[in-house]
Amino acid sequence: MSDDCIFCSIVAGDIPGRIVAETDGALAFLDANPLAPGHTLVVPTSHCQRLADLDAEESRAVFDLLSDLAPDVEAAVDADALTVGINDGEAAGQEVPHVHAHIIPRFEGDGGGPIHAVAGERPHLDDEELDDIAARIEG
Ligand code: AMP
Ligand code: ZN
């Protein structure tokens, strides 16, 4: 628990949240400024800032709840689809420094875009550069 973390305060019950599901290691609640009806956040109950900070158990708790809940969110608001994503780090738009996955209901013709729309201009990478990046990720 981090004292000045708003999501830790929701987990602790110190500030209100519209909680929709809870497991041993994860909590889901409605986003206070929804991008769509049903916009839900899934967080680990322990304070972790970045995805890479989650241990295997925390990670499993978040992704298990996320995949369990996704169809319920979609059905609850009669959505056509979902966009699911994590802003992992400030440069990616993370504002609350406690890992959270967004479940955003999507509707035909809602005017939104695919996840491919989140990045800036596409890079031009040749085969050698792609091979090099793949090798570096592989480690
Ligand atoms: P991100 O930009 O990925 O860090 O998203 C943070 C999200 O948390 C935003 O969508 C906010 O609307 C949401 N949020 C901030 N404070 C609260 C709160 N007290 N309860 C529920 N959602 C919140
Ligand atoms: Zn926290």
In a domain, 84, yes or no: yes
Contact 36, 84 (CB under 8 A): no
How many C-beta atoms surround the C-beta of residue 60 within 10 A? Answer: 14
Ligand 1 near 6 CB (within 6 A): yes
Do the Cβ atoms of 68 and 26 come closer than 8 Å? Answer: no
- Out of 39, 98, 100, 102, the active site residue is 100
Which ligand 1 atom minimizes the distance to the CA of 102?
3
87 lines ligand 1 (CB under 6 A): yes
Phi first, then psi: give them for residue 105, nearest 5 degrees. Answer: -60, 140
In a domain, 90, yes or no: yes
Q: Is 1 exposed, middle or buried (0-12, 13-18, 19+ CB in 10 A)?
A: exposed
Range of the domain at 92: 6-138
- Residues 17, 6: contact at Cβ < 8 Å? no
**pLDDT tens digit string along 49-68?**
999 999 999 999 999 999 99
Question: Mean pLDDT over residues 122-130, rounded?
Answer: 96
pLDDT at 3: 81
Residue 1 above 90 pLDDT? no
CB 5 within 8 A of CB 98: yes
Which residues lie at CB < 5 A from ion ligand 2? 2, 5, 7-8, 47, 98
- Could you tell me the pLDDT band of residue 120, with boundaries at 50, 70 and 90? confident
Average confidence (pLDDT) over 117-126: 92
Query: Into how many domains does the chain fold?
Result: 1
CATH of the domain at 100: 3.30.428.10
Structural contact between residues 43 and 94, judged by C-beta atoms closer than 8 angstroms: no
pLDDT (tens digit per residue) in 5-44: 999 999 999 999 999 999 999 999 999 999 999 999 999 9
Residue 31 Cβ inside 6 Å of ligand 1? The answer reads yes
pLDDT greater than 90 at residue 99: yes
User: Is 1 within a domain?
Assistant: no
Average confidence (pLDDT) over 79-85: 98
Threshold 0.75, pTM exceeds? yes
Is 100 tagged catalytic? yes
Q: How far is the CA of 63 from the centre of ligand 2 (A)?
A: 17
Q: Report the C-alpha gap between 8 and 98 in whole angstroms.
A: 8
